[in-house]
Structure 1
Amino acid sequence: MTDQERVIKDVIAFTERKEEERMLDGVKSYINRIKRQRDNLKIELKKYKSDEKIDELNKEIEDLKANSLFIFSEDEKKEEIKFKKEHRDCNSNIYYYFKGTEVGVAAGLKCSKCGLITDITDYSRW
């Protein structure tokens, strides 16, 4: 093989390597673009799911408000649980009562066996 042929062979090999590197850089660039797009879509999907969940929960709250006679506050719920635990041994029914006043609605509980009546109204909500 002559020097000229060797030079031509080296130039062709060099050109092929450069072309491969250019193609590889193009593929890497494409992959990076796809990764960025994926990350942006993940963020957008999270927002979408969050908004969807918030709307779903707001609808549930509205349904509860529309279809409930009375909604206990956290304090009233704690008092209800406490009353039920104290009267578990009575093995009887617990009656709920609601009394309208000029200011708000009072809530209470009554044990059907021992007759104990307890006002559980959370007056801080008035």
Structure 2
Amino acid sequence: MTDQERVINDVLAFTERNEEEQMFNNVKSYINKIKRQRDALKAELKKYESDEKITELKNEIDDLKANSLFIFSENEKKEEIQFKKEHRKCDANIYYYFEGTEFGVAVGLKCSECGFIKDITDYSRW
């Protein structure tokens, strides 16, 4: 092989390497673009799912409010549980009473056996 043929082969090999490298860089660039689009769509989907879940929970809360006579606060629930524990020995019914006022609804409990009445209203909700 002559020097001229060797130079031509080297130039062709160099050109092929550059073309391959350019094609490889184009493929990497395309893959990175697709990854960015995927990440953007993931974020959008997460936001959509989050908004959908919030709407679903708000609807559930509205349904509970519309179909419930009274919803106890955490403090009222604790007081109710304590009252039931204290009056378990009475082996009686526990009556709930609700009294509407100008500020809110007061709630109380009464043991049917011993007659003890306890106001468990959480006034902090008023």
Could you say which TM-score interval applies, normalised by the shorter chain?
Answer: 0.7 to 0.9
Report the CA distance shift for 1:103/1:22 in structure 2 as closer, same or farther (over 3 A).
closer
Give the letter aligned to residue 55 of structure 1: T
Secondary structure at the counterpart of residue 115 of structure 1: coil
CA distance in structure 2 between the partners assigned to 1:11 and 1:113 by the alignment: 105
The residue that corresponds to 2:30 in the other structure is 30
* TM-score calculated relative to the size of structure 2: 0.88
The residue that corresponds to 2:75 in the other structure is 75
Percent sequence identity over matched residues?
79
The residue that corresponds to 2:14 in the other structure is 14
Report the CA distance shift for 1:4/1:102 in structure 2 as closer, same or farther (over 3 A).
closer
CA distance in structure 2 between the partners assigned to 1:5 and 1:89 by the alignment: 108
Secondary structure at the counterpart of residue 114 of structure 2: coil
- What's the CA shift string for 1:15-43, capped at 9, x where partnerless? 11001000000011011111111111121
The residue that corresponds to 1:110 in the other structure is 110
* TM-score calculated relative to the size of structure 1: 0.88
More deviation in 105-114 or 27-36? Answer: 105-114
More deviation in 51-60 or 32-41? Answer: 32-41
Runs of 4+ with >6 A deviation: none
Unaligned residue ranges in structure 2 (runs of 5+): none
CA distance in structure 2 between the partners assigned to 1:9 and 1:46 by the alignment: 55
The residue that corresponds to 2:124 in the other structure is 124
Secondary structure at the counterpart of residue 106 of structure 2: strand
RMSD of Structure 2 on Structure 1 (CA): 1.7
